[in-house]
Amino acid sequence: MKNLKSILDLSDNIGKFIEYWGFKSIHGRLWTLIYLAEEPISTPELVKILSVSKGLVSVGINELLEHGLIRKAEKVSGGGQTFVAEDDIGSVVRKVLRDRELKLLMSTQVKINELKSFSPRELEIAGINPERLEQLANLTDTHKNVLQLFVSRGVDSLSQWISAVRSALKSLI
Protein backbone atom coordinates (compact mmCIF):
# COMPACT_ATOMS: atom_id res chain seq x y z
CA MET A 1 0.00 0.00 0.00
CA LYS A 2 1.29 3.41 -0.99
CA ASN A 3 1.99 5.88 1.79
CA LEU A 4 1.38 3.34 4.53
CA LYS A 5 1.86 5.82 7.38
CA SER A 6 -1.08 8.00 6.27
CA ILE A 7 -3.30 4.96 5.91
CA LEU A 8 -2.24 3.63 9.32
CA ASP A 9 -2.85 7.05 10.91
CA LEU A 10 -6.36 7.07 9.44
CA SER A 11 -7.04 3.50 10.58
CA ASP A 12 -5.78 4.40 14.09
CA ASN A 13 -8.14 7.40 14.25
CA ILE A 14 -11.10 5.34 13.10
CA GLY A 15 -10.05 2.70 15.63
CA LYS A 16 -10.20 5.30 18.40
CA PHE A 17 -13.62 6.45 17.22
CA ILE A 18 -14.92 2.88 17.12
CA GLU A 19 -13.43 2.30 20.57
CA TYR A 20 -15.43 5.29 21.83
CA TRP A 21 -18.56 3.45 20.63
CA GLY A 22 -17.67 0.46 22.79
CA PHE A 23 -15.88 -1.69 20.24
CA LYS A 24 -12.18 -2.48 20.17
CA SER A 25 -9.73 -0.25 18.33
CA ILE A 26 -8.64 -3.21 16.20
CA HIS A 27 -12.15 -3.40 14.72
CA GLY A 28 -11.90 0.12 13.35
CA ARG A 29 -8.33 -0.37 12.17
CA LEU A 30 -9.16 -3.60 10.33
CA TRP A 31 -12.41 -2.29 8.88
CA THR A 32 -10.70 0.85 7.55
CA LEU A 33 -8.01 -1.13 5.75
CA ILE A 34 -10.52 -3.58 4.30
CA TYR A 35 -12.94 -0.80 3.32
CA LEU A 36 -10.29 1.26 1.54
CA ALA A 37 -8.59 -1.65 -0.23
CA GLU A 38 -9.10 -1.74 -4.00
CA GLU A 39 -8.81 -5.52 -3.97
CA PRO A 40 -9.86 -8.12 -1.39
CA ILE A 41 -7.28 -8.20 1.39
CA SER A 42 -6.04 -11.25 3.29
CA THR A 43 -5.37 -11.88 6.96
CA PRO A 44 -1.58 -12.14 6.42
CA GLU A 45 -1.62 -8.77 4.62
CA LEU A 46 -3.54 -7.20 7.51
CA VAL A 47 -1.14 -8.70 10.06
CA LYS A 48 1.81 -7.29 8.12
CA ILE A 49 0.31 -3.82 7.60
CA LEU A 50 -0.82 -3.40 11.20
CA SER A 51 2.18 -5.18 12.79
CA VAL A 52 -0.09 -7.08 15.17
CA SER A 53 -0.53 -10.76 15.92
CA LYS A 54 -2.43 -13.10 13.63
CA GLY A 55 -4.64 -14.02 16.59
CA LEU A 56 -5.69 -10.41 17.16
CA VAL A 57 -6.48 -9.99 13.47
CA SER A 58 -8.38 -13.29 13.35
CA VAL A 59 -10.53 -12.41 16.35
CA GLY A 60 -11.18 -8.92 14.95
CA ILE A 61 -12.06 -10.31 11.51
CA ASN A 62 -14.48 -12.83 13.03
CA GLU A 63 -16.23 -10.10 15.00
CA LEU A 64 -16.46 -7.83 11.93
CA LEU A 65 -17.95 -10.76 10.01
CA GLU A 66 -20.41 -11.36 12.85
CA HIS A 67 -21.55 -7.70 12.78
CA GLY A 68 -21.91 -7.83 9.00
CA LEU A 69 -19.34 -5.11 8.34
CA ILE A 70 -17.18 -7.30 6.11
CA ARG A 71 -17.64 -10.49 4.13
CA LYS A 72 -15.41 -13.24 2.85
CA ALA A 73 -14.10 -12.95 -0.69
CA GLU A 74 -12.03 -15.43 -2.67
CA LYS A 75 -9.21 -17.50 -1.26
CA VAL A 76 -5.67 -16.80 -2.40
CA SER A 77 -2.96 -19.30 -3.25
CA GLY A 78 -2.09 -21.32 -0.20
CA GLY A 79 -5.70 -21.17 1.00
CA GLY A 80 -5.57 -17.73 2.64
CA GLN A 81 -8.95 -16.06 2.99
CA THR A 82 -9.51 -12.54 1.70
CA PHE A 83 -12.12 -10.05 2.83
CA VAL A 84 -14.05 -7.09 1.44
CA ALA A 85 -16.10 -4.47 3.23
CA GLU A 86 -19.86 -4.73 3.16
CA ASP A 87 -21.37 -1.86 1.21
CA ASP A 88 -24.55 -1.95 3.30
CA ILE A 89 -23.10 -0.43 6.48
CA GLY A 90 -26.08 1.84 7.11
CA SER A 91 -28.12 -1.12 8.33
CA VAL A 92 -25.24 -2.23 10.57
CA VAL A 93 -25.00 1.23 12.15
CA ARG A 94 -28.78 1.28 12.56
CA LYS A 95 -28.67 -2.14 14.25
CA VAL A 96 -25.94 -0.99 16.68
CA LEU A 97 -27.93 2.16 17.50
CA ARG A 98 -31.08 0.08 18.07
CA ASP A 99 -29.49 -2.77 19.99
CA ARG A 100 -27.10 -0.80 22.15
CA GLU A 101 -27.53 2.94 22.35
CA LEU A 102 -31.33 2.98 22.18
CA LYS A 103 -31.60 0.20 24.78
CA LEU A 104 -29.23 2.11 27.06
CA LEU A 105 -31.28 5.30 26.74
CA MET A 106 -34.49 3.38 27.40
CA SER A 107 -32.96 1.79 30.49
CA THR A 108 -31.77 5.22 31.64
CA GLN A 109 -35.27 6.57 31.12
CA VAL A 110 -36.70 3.82 33.34
CA LYS A 111 -34.24 4.72 36.12
CA ILE A 112 -35.05 8.43 35.78
CA ASN A 113 -38.78 7.64 35.99
CA GLU A 114 -38.14 5.65 39.17
CA LEU A 115 -36.57 8.74 40.71
CA LYS A 116 -39.37 10.96 39.37
CA SER A 117 -41.86 8.77 41.27
CA PHE A 118 -40.24 9.79 44.56
CA SER A 119 -42.13 12.30 46.67
CA PRO A 120 -40.66 15.81 46.97
CA ARG A 121 -39.58 14.90 50.51
CA GLU A 122 -37.81 11.71 49.32
CA LEU A 123 -35.99 13.69 46.64
CA GLU A 124 -34.97 16.27 49.23
CA ILE A 125 -33.64 13.57 51.58
CA ALA A 126 -31.71 12.03 48.68
CA GLY A 127 -30.28 15.45 47.81
CA ILE A 128 -31.78 15.40 44.31
CA ASN A 129 -32.71 18.64 42.59
CA PRO A 130 -36.17 17.98 41.01
CA GLU A 131 -35.68 20.59 38.27
CA ARG A 132 -32.40 19.03 37.18
CA LEU A 133 -33.97 15.58 37.31
CA GLU A 134 -36.66 16.88 34.94
CA GLN A 135 -34.01 18.38 32.64
CA LEU A 136 -32.17 15.05 32.60
CA ALA A 137 -35.46 13.31 31.78
CA ASN A 138 -36.07 15.72 28.88
CA LEU A 139 -32.52 15.31 27.57
CA THR A 140 -32.76 11.53 27.70
CA ASP A 141 -36.20 11.49 26.08
CA THR A 142 -35.06 13.83 23.29
CA HIS A 143 -32.01 11.72 22.50
CA LYS A 144 -34.11 8.56 22.58
CA ASN A 145 -36.57 10.11 20.12
CA VAL A 146 -33.76 11.17 17.75
CA LEU A 147 -32.29 7.67 17.82
CA GLN A 148 -35.71 6.11 17.26
CA LEU A 149 -36.15 8.35 14.23
CA PHE A 150 -32.86 7.17 12.72
CA VAL A 151 -33.53 3.54 13.59
CA SER A 152 -37.02 3.62 12.09
CA ARG A 153 -35.82 4.93 8.72
CA GLY A 154 -35.02 2.33 6.08
CA VAL A 155 -31.38 3.35 5.89
CA ASP A 156 -29.35 0.53 4.43
CA SER A 157 -26.64 1.94 2.20
CA LEU A 158 -23.86 4.30 3.15
CA SER A 159 -25.25 6.94 0.76
CA GLN A 160 -28.71 6.66 2.39
CA TRP A 161 -27.11 7.00 5.83
CA ILE A 162 -25.19 10.14 4.79
CA SER A 163 -28.34 11.59 3.22
CA ALA A 164 -30.39 10.91 6.38
CA VAL A 165 -27.78 12.54 8.62
CA ARG A 166 -27.49 15.57 6.32
CA SER A 167 -31.27 15.91 6.24
CA ALA A 168 -31.45 15.75 10.03
CA LEU A 169 -28.71 18.36 10.35
CA LYS A 170 -30.50 20.72 7.95
CA SER A 171 -33.67 20.51 10.04
CA LEU A 172 -31.67 21.48 13.14
CA ILE A 173 -30.18 24.59 11.57
Domain layout of the chain by residue ranges? 4-85, 89-172
pLDDT in tens, 151-166: 887 766 777 777 877 8
Distance CA 15, CA 10 (A): 8
Question: Residue 2: is its pLDDT beyond 60?
Answer: no
Q: Which residue has the higher pLDDT, 2 or 115?
A: 115
Question: Residue 171: is its pLDDT beyond 80?
Answer: no
**Residue 115: per-residue pLDDT:** 95
**Residue 95: per-residue pLDDT:** 79
Q: For residue 83, give Cα distances in angstroms to 6, 51, 63, 110, 119.
A: 21, 18, 13, 42, 58
Question: Residue 89: is its pLDDT beyond 80?
Answer: no
**Residues facing residue 82 across a β-bridge:** 42
Q: At CB < 8 A and 24+ separation, what contacts does 36-39 make?
A: 36/7, 36/10, 37/84, 37/85, 39/82
Distance CA 109, CA 124 (A): 21
Q: What is the pTM of this model?
A: 0.70
Question: What topology does CATH give the domain 4-85?
Answer: Arc Repressor Mutant, subunit A (1.10.10)
**Residue 4: per-residue pLDDT:** 83
